[in-house]
Amino acid sequence: MQITKAEFKCSSERISQVPKDDLRDIAFIGRSNVGKSSLINRLTGRQGLAKVSGTPGKTRLINHFRINDAWYLVDLPGYGYARTSKVQRGEFSKLITDYVLRCEKLHFLFVLVDIRLEPQRIDLRFIEMLGENGVPFGIIFTKADKLSKTQREKSVERFRKALSEQWEELPPMLVSSSEQGLGREEILDFIESCLKV
């Protein structure tokens, strides 16, 4: 799929504020700083469309970006960032769980995972919640430029193994680098096929 048009639509602090049209959402979630906003910029080819920062907790709201006037890419706040206020946090903020479990616009969710790390408990718990609630999701490993090809494969395998302890059927998994553009075509093709369903 080609992205010919990408524009910021709105930021929502509650799910009641998300766009009211019937375009579907393809959303990105994951731990703070994993690279959600960077990937959105890379996929759209528009640096600066979503705000990126080396400091975790940059994205605080639900951001809708309208793509090709046909669907939305959605940038969500990260989870697992301990310095967010306790009232807001819980394990996953109310904003995140409301969106992921209750927003009817959500068509497919990508959980982003830092390819360098061992499977993190918080990611596994988040994925468990998705599975239990029947939310359609896939996994994108980020920051692949930080590892060699062999290390990447090992890391993906390690995650696959951690998931297979819980699940019989594994979600689709893709590898990406927003730094190098790795995985871009594959992710866009995946989204295209997703939107056909």
Binding site for ligand GTP (CB under 6 A): 32-38, 52-54, 56-59, 77-78, 142-143, 145-146, 177-179
Beta carbons of 147 and 182 less than 8 angstroms apart: no
Q: Mark out the alpha helices in 62-111 (DSSP H runs).
A: 86-89, 94-102
Q: Three-state DSSP class for 50?
A: coil
At 29, give phi and psi (nearest 5°): -135, 165
Tokens of 137: 């999701």
* Comparison of 66 and 143: residue with beta carbon closer to ligand GTP: 143
Beta carbons of 91 and 122 less than 8 angstroms apart: yes
Q: Three-state DSSP class for 142?
A: strand
- Find the shortest distance in angstroms from Cβ 138 to ligand GTP: 16
Q: What share of the chain is helix, strand, coil (3-state, %, to 5)?
A: 35, 25, 40
- Find the shortest distance in angstroms from Cβ 37 to ligand GTP: 3
* Comparison of 115 and 193: residue with beta carbon closer to ligand GTP: 115
Give the Å distances, CA to CA, from 44 to 22, 109, 124. 21, 17, 28
Interface pattern 36-55 for Mg ion (x via CB under 5 A): xx------------------
- Find the shortest distance in angstroms from Cβ 197 to ligand GTP: 26
Is 155 one of the binding residues for Mg ion (CB under 5 A)? no
* Comparison of 35 and 127: residue with beta carbon closer to ligand GTP: 35
- Find the shortest distance in angstroms from Cβ 14 to ligand GTP: 18
* Comparison of 36 and 143: residue with beta carbon closer to Mg ion: 36
- Find the shortest distance in angstroms from Cβ 97 to ligand GTP: 16
* Partner interacting with residue 63 (select from ligand GTP, Mg ion, none; CB below 5-8 Å by kind): none
Tokens of 122: 């918080």
Q: Interface with Mg ion by CB under 5 A: which residues?
A: 36-37, 58-59
